[in-house]
Structure 1
Amino acid sequence: MRFIEVPLPPHFPKRWPTVYAARFATVSTLGTHTDRANYIKKSGSWVLLKKWLSNTSGHKCWYCESKSTRAPFDVDHFRPKLGITVDGEKLTGHNGYYWLAYEWWNFRLSCQRCNRPEKDDTETLHGKANEFPILNEAQRCAIPTGALNAELPRLLDPCVKEDGELLAHGIDGEVKPAAIADTWEFQRARYTIELLGFNKWNTPEDKRSRWQTLATLLNLVGDTESAAVSEELKKYISSDQEYSSFFRSAIGTHREKTWVEALL
């Protein structure tokens, strides 16, 4: 997970402000959850921002940094719009953050593996879907005037720089909590890794395979910088490179080389 700094308006696609105003106004007038749900399900206008969101991350999933080459990305609502689950159980008495259904700052570009429920080979379910636990349920907002800042989400947010720093990337390709065990920060990191399946679907193996080539180049070059190798490494730590956080960490294991330290 790499920090995503979303460009502020007026960088929206031209149609979005008009569409947003109409959708938000309509949702605000609907008095029942059923009416709101029916309207929102039929009016998923946030797809208009998918390209904009993709450009912001260098065409990578905001959560796992994968590039979705075989399936389209989803526009995830960080705070679920029409219902909430906590550890797989539906949260009673809360119908989701419907008033945020069209707020651009609640959108996160997500690969389908991170967003959609799917079981791995051990029958463990992964995927964010409507999961959104917080530290203290008493602080959860249930109405538009609630204080969202009082909520402390368990799920790490790619739009919060400090959240990405709670994840560590080993040269084995796995993502691990970077915080001290038994702390809230550790719980958040471990929960996010498991929920989104960061270490599933052969992802660590894929990362390791790519890293082996770079590691060989680094060992061959040694302490003397090679312009060609430097340029290759720069590609892997670029913000638009798939799994760039992993490659930055892996390349950092050679930072005793002065020229590598300068790259990082």
Structure 2
Amino acid sequence: MIFIDVEEVKLKIKPTWLAAARDVKKLLSAAATAKERKRIIDDNSHLWRELKTILASVSHLKCWYCETRDHRSDNAVDHYRPKSRVAGEHHPGYWWLAFDSDNFRFACTYCNSWRNGPEGTAGGKQDYFPILAGSIRAVGPESILSEEVPLLIDPCSATDVALLWFDETGQASGNPHGMEFDSAAKQKVTESIKYYHLDHVPLVEARRRIYAEVLKICDDADKANKWWNKSREQSAYDGYREAMGRLARSLKRENEYSAVALCAIRGYRATSDAARIAFEYLNR
């Protein structure tokens, strides 16, 4: 998962869309029943779909939750806080945020919808939105959202994104370098892996391949540099420069699973000079 700045989204939204969304929000606020609110939301669902291209563009067409880019999938605009109901609870859903662009996330099918995967995995955000026990669930526009603590890692929160880590097996886990700064970190990671289906086997395998590829590039760079320092052969130096360029490119945000590449480099920097240099100087 990479950090997504919602301000980038806002800058691309046309004033006409904002005006239309404001009008619908007024209708929702005036609705007398939940049934009427649902009708208004359904009748105007085209509004959030109109922003799908913008949402996709800020993540380079990658799912905001898992960093997968699947051109064959009908990716969706997910509502981070569910718009119509909260699964497992007697809750009307965050209907007042149904047309708030800050609540939109670009999501692939496996992160957004409940699916059973191979080897017994299952997950998908759907209408689930667990919060920390003891925090106050928002129930209407008068509620204070900051009083509830979501347990689903939000790609639009830099501190949330920092909680995730990926190891050489491709599995997601808690970041060993930063879990202590958030007392709910362990729960957030556990719930996010489950509801974003981050343990989906094909996804884990894809991350494992990226991790292994990055470590190999580090090894290639280290070997080329060692030979250059010993032989002063131009071909060795060229090989070192080429490998370091590949490491720099692996960290670019537009690459699938760039967060995995960063974890690989960060975890390998105590062993590899190339990884250390890439992490300290190329991680921009």
Global fold match (TM > 0.5): yes
CA–CA separation in structure 2 for the residues paired with 1:125 and 1:210: 23
User: Which runs of 5 or more structure 1 residues have no equivalent in the other structure?
Assistant: none
Whether 2:183 is the aligned partner of 1:191: answer no
CA–CA separation in structure 2 for the residues paired with 1:155 and 1:254: 28
Whether 2:96 is the aligned partner of 1:99: answer yes
Contact 2:218 2:247 in 1 (8 A): no
Residue 249 of structure 1 is matched in structure 2 by 263
**1:105 to partner: Cα distance:** 0.5
Residue 131 of structure 2 is matched in structure 1 by 134
CA–CA separation in structure 2 for the residues paired with 1:4 and 1:48: 19
Deviations 1:228-261 (A, max 9, x none): 2222222211112111110111123442415334
**1:103 to partner: Cα distance:** 0.4
CA–CA separation in structure 2 for the residues paired with 1:146 and 1:232: 49
CA–CA separation in structure 2 for the residues paired with 1:70 and 1:115: 15
Residue 62 of structure 2 is matched in structure 1 by 60
- The SS at the match of 1:240 is coil
Deviations 1:12-33 (A, max 9, x none): 1353123212221222221111
Q: Give 1:228's aligned amino acid.
A: E
Contact 1:13 1:48 in 2 (8 A): no
Residue 262 of structure 1 is matched in structure 2 by 281
TM-score by length of 1: 0.89
Q: Give 1:196's aligned amino acid.
A: Y
CA–CA separation in structure 1 for the residues paired with 2:266 and 2:120: 35
Question: Which piece of structure 1 moves more, 219-228 or 198-207?
Answer: 219-228
Q: Give 2:50's aligned amino acid.
A: L
Contact 1:13 1:49 in 2 (8 A): no
Deviations 1:151-205 (A, max 9, x none): 011111111111111111112111112236xx52101111101221112132221
Q: Give 2:143's aligned amino acid.
A: G
Contact 1:60 1:242 in 2 (8 A): yes
Identity of aligned residues (%): 28
- The SS at the match of 2:165 is strand
Q: Give 2:16's aligned amino acid.
A: R
Structure 1 residues 253 and 154: CA distance shift in structure 2, 3 A: closer
Residue 169 of structure 1 is matched in structure 2 by 166
Contact 1:132 1:153 in 2 (8 A): yes
**1:7 to partner: Cα distance:** 2.1
Residue 32 of structure 1 is matched in structure 2 by 33
Q: Give 2:277's aligned amino acid.
A: W
Contact 1:170 1:249 in 2 (8 A): yes
**Structure number with higher helix proportion:** 2
Contact 1:115 1:128 in 2 (8 A): yes
Alignment of 1:1-80 (within 5 A): 1-7=1-7, 9-44=10-45, 45-80=47-82
TM-score by length of 2: 0.83
Match of 1:235 among 233, 249, 254: 249
Deviations 1:16-65 (A, max 9, x none): 12321222122222111111112212221101111111111122111111
User: Which runs of 5 or more structure 2 residues have no equivalent in the other structure?
Assistant: 226-236
**1:122 to partner: Cα distance:** 4.8
CA–CA separation in structure 2 for the residues paired with 1:233 and 1:100: 41
- The SS at the match of 1:217 is helix
CA–CA separation in structure 2 for the residues paired with 1:134 and 1:184: 10
- The SS at the match of 1:222 is helix
CA–CA separation in structure 2 for the residues paired with 1:136 and 1:254: 37
**1:123 to partner: Cα distance:** 4.9
Residue 213 of structure 1 is matched in structure 2 by 213
- The SS at the match of 1:190 is helix
- The SS at the match of 1:202 is helix
Structure 1 residues 16 and 250: CA distance shift in structure 2, 3 A: same
**1:138 to partner: Cα distance:** 6.3
**1:148 to partner: Cα distance:** 0.6
CA–CA separation in structure 2 for the residues paired with 1:40 and 1:46: 10
